[in-house]
C-alpha cells in the first residue's frame, strides 16, 4: 500500500510538472504574435514632411486637396507605436491596403519601385472621399486608420 501511494504521488507530481511546462511555453514572449509592434497611429510623409498623422491618442490632423487628373508625389506611411515611435513592419506577410468611400473620386496606386509602404493618390473626378489605410496581415487588417479626407476640386478660373 505504501508503494502504490508513493507511485501515485510521483505520477501526480510528474503530471503537474509537465502541465506547468506546457503552460509556461504557451505564455512565452517569443511567439509569432508578439514578434511585431502593434500600431496605435500613423504618419504620412510626402517629400519628407508630415502631411497627415493620427497620434496614438486618436487625434487626426491633415488631409489632401487635389485637382482632377493630379497624382501626388510618393507618400510613405509610418506606423506609430503606443510611445509615438515610428516603425514599418519588415515581415513579408504585412502589406498596405486602402479603401475609398465613396469610390470613383480618387484611386490608390502602388508601384513596386516605391516599396511596400509607399503609394500615390490619383485624383479622378471632383468630390470628397474618405481614405482608410489598412495594415494588412495574412489577408485581414490588423489596423485601420481613421478616415483621411481627400478633396478633389477643379482649380478656380480667374474672372
Is residue 155 classed as helix, strand or coil in its secondary structure? Answer: coil
pLDDT for 143-159, tens place per residue? 999 999 999 999 887 77
Q: What is the 3-state secondary structure (H, E, C) of 37-90?
A: CCCCEEEEEECCEEEEEECCCCCEECCEEECCCCECCCEEEEEECCCCCEECCC
As beta bridge partners, residue 127 has 152
pLDDT of residue 57: 95
Give CA separation, 152 vs 36, 97, 137, in Å: 36, 21, 31
Distance (Å, whole) CA 59 – CA 27: 34
Give CA separation, 104 vs 126, 129, 133, in Å: 9, 9, 17
Mean pLDDT, residues 92-105 taken together: 97
Distance (Å, whole) CA 134 – CA 119: 13
Is residue 132 classed as helix, strand or coil in its secondary structure? Answer: strand
Distance (Å, whole) CA 27 – CA 57: 29
Question: Which CATH code for domain 36-152?
Answer: 2.60.40.1080
- φ, ψ for residue 104, nearest 5 deg: 90, -10
Most confident of 7-11, 97-101, 110-114: 97-101
Q: Which residue reads 508503494 in cell numbers?
A: 3
pLDDT for 14-48, tens place per residue? 554 444 444 444 443 344 444 558 999 999 999 99
Mean pLDDT, residues 99-110 taken together: 98
Amino acid at each position: 500500500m505504501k508503494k502504490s501511494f508513493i507511485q501515485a504521488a510521483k505520477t501526480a507530481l510528474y503530471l503537474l510538472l509537465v502541465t506547468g511546462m506546457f503552460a509556461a511555453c504557451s505564455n512565452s514572449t517569443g511567439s509569432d504574435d508578439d514578434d511585431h509592434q502593434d500600431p496605435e497611429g500613423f504618419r504620412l510623409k510626402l517629400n519628407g514632411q508630415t502631411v497627415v498623422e493620427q497620434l496614438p491618442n486618436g487625434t487626426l490632423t491633415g488631409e489632401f486637396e487635389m485637382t482632377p487628373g493630379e497624382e501626388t508625389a510618393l507618400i510613405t506611411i509610418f506606423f506609430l507605436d503606443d510611445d509615438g515611435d515610428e516603425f514599418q513592419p519588415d515581415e513579408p506577410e504585412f502589406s498596405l491596403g486602402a479603401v475609398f468611400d465613396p469610390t470613383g473620386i480618387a484611386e490608390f496606386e502602388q508601384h513596386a519601385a516605391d516599396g511596400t509602404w509607399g503609394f500615390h493618390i490619383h485624383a479622378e473626378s471632383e468630390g470628397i472621399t474618405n481614405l482608410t489605410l489598412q495594415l494588412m496581415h495574412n489577408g485581414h487588417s490588423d489596423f485601420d486608420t481613421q478616415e483621411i479626407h481627400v478633396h478633389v476640386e477643379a482649380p478656380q478660373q480667374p474672372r
